[in-house]
Structure 1
């Protein structure tokens, strides 16, 4: 049985960037200063050489006893993962402008010890819809046509979903919605509206945003496991909330999609 739980409380970011986030902030600034694709490789390579502790940290996060359920994680580690996600988003943004740039992203994530996702059938746990080609029949299921960028996991924890172009009938996805609705829990995407909890805060405080944790554990997909469990009223019905939690945006629902504040929602479902 799938469940959706919400809370009306929101976390207030702390006033300063945590020291563990600083290396990623520095890398992000360097990447943003790179005007040419050829400049990325030496910047990323030098960063990896001078921060070997980051791959050791990732290796530690991989050691999870899945029989114990959802693992505990310190808020400092979630801040650190958020900082990593900002770098990931910056590299994905470049891919969105030029699909030929994904080798830099792949090399960076693999060098940290993250594992590339090998999921060939479309599923929102693993895949972010980038582009839709409508199928001739309205009930055709969503299928992957091309992979725009790969996805990566840290053990059972999702770090970054793969970006995919898909085909599908309008009963399952609509091009105008899937390609344009606000993408939540995201800082950057090329040509798309995004929103995360860092937006609107100052230069330091925005970094005290915690990473969204999604796990595949014990035969279930768990989405945003750190969401609170106090139900509150919502303008969206349960199916809309599930769509938003699973896809981090709407791909079918023709509905208001800005300022929904879904960050305290959580959801789980069995692996088919």
Structure 2
């Protein structure tokens, strides 16, 4: 039996055992993590890790046809779990098991890798790197149960900052100039924000800060310093990282809902940052106006909500 078949069989067993709505529960036993030799990784993450490694080492010319489409066709349990998770987040924020957060994180690592390989449709010359078209990227993600989200009005919930055009007017509002890749939602949960070129006055967004400050809750982006809570762990242990969950429900936006430190209470728990600086970081996942050292912060416990 091939490795893919073994992984699928094991994942199906896990899915049928945990087919109820996600709830917080005890961590699984060590034996679960040691299955098929992937120490410190939950078995539900194994299909994503296999796909991640396959994409990273792929040298062919049709990433979608050779890897993504066949993988998705066999990922029956993965798609069932994602659709079940999405259905439970249409009108409220569901509880999530630690294994569920790990599984979402594993998919986000695959997504980060695919974003780095998106084809630049405006490029004049063909690239030598392995690429995927936007249409194939959308098709793959939609087949897993994710939906493309469009918002032309700037919001840190939707928009990840890639490039900034500094407006001459100091207090000019932040506006969306161009879309580099699309946002993906899983139910009402933001899975992957839209990559954007923005414009705005320096009082609202500082180009030199917003383009280069550390992007937290993110494993990798081309030409951008990133960091998530997996950094510093081993190649297998780092996969046991919880996915950050943001939701938009009934006109309210909830940032990092699993954080323990509620910034809405009006008190800073950080010795290095003021309250408004913490709020800026948890909303945008990077600094956009704060001119402070940003490469060794730990914002992962902060949460915040606002009405829009």
Is 2:120 aligned against 1:99?
yes
Q: Which moved more, 1:226-235 or 1:190-199?
A: 226-235
Q: Which residue of 1 aligns with 2:10?
A: none
Whether the 8 Å CA contact 1:177–1:254 is kept in 2: the answer is: yes
TM-score (norm 1): 0.88
Alignment of 1:90-169 (within 5 A): 90-95=113-118, 98-100=119-121, 101-169=133-201
Is 2:268 aligned against 1:197?
no
**Cα 1:36–1:249 shift into 2, 3 Å:** farther
Unpaired segments ≥5 residues, structure 2: 1-32, 34-38, 122-132, 263-267
Q: Given the alignment, which residue of 63, 75, 88 partners 1:51? A: 75
**Cα 1:110–1:65 shift into 2, 3 Å:** closer
Q: Given the alignment, which residue of 227, 236, 241 partners 2:273? A: 236
Alpha-carbon distance, 1:27 to partner: 0.6
Q: Please give the per-residue CA displacement for 1:81-119, whole angstroms capped at 9, x wherever unaligned.
A: 000000011111223xx4234333222211111111121
Is 2:218 aligned against 1:186?
yes
TM-score (norm 2): 0.78
Whether the 8 Å CA contact 1:41–1:104 is kept in 2: the answer is: no
Whether the 8 Å CA contact 2:89–2:189 is kept in 1: the answer is: no
| Number of residue pairs aligned between Structure 1 and Structure 2 | 255
Q: Which residue of 2 aligns with 1:18?
A: 42
Unpaired segments ≥5 residues, structure 1: 1-13
Whether the 8 Å CA contact 1:131–1:164 is kept in 2: the answer is: yes
RMSD: 1.8
Is 2:282 aligned against 1:245?
yes
Alpha-carbon distance, 1:138 to partner: 1.5
The whole-number CA distance in structure 2 between the counterparts of 1:157 and 1:30 is: 27
Of structures 1 and 2, the one with the larger relative CO (CA 8 A, separation 6+) is 1
The whole-number CA distance in structure 2 between the counterparts of 1:18 and 1:53 is: 15
Q: Which residue of 1 aligns with 2:294?
A: 257
Alpha-carbon distance, 1:65 to partner: 6.3
Q: Which moved more, 1:225-234 or 1:207-216?
A: 225-234
Whether the 8 Å CA contact 2:220–2:226 is kept in 1: the answer is: yes
Structure of larger gyration radius: 2
Q: Secondary structure at the match of 1:202?
A: coil
Q: Given the alignment, which residue of 205, 222, 231 partners 1:173? A: 205
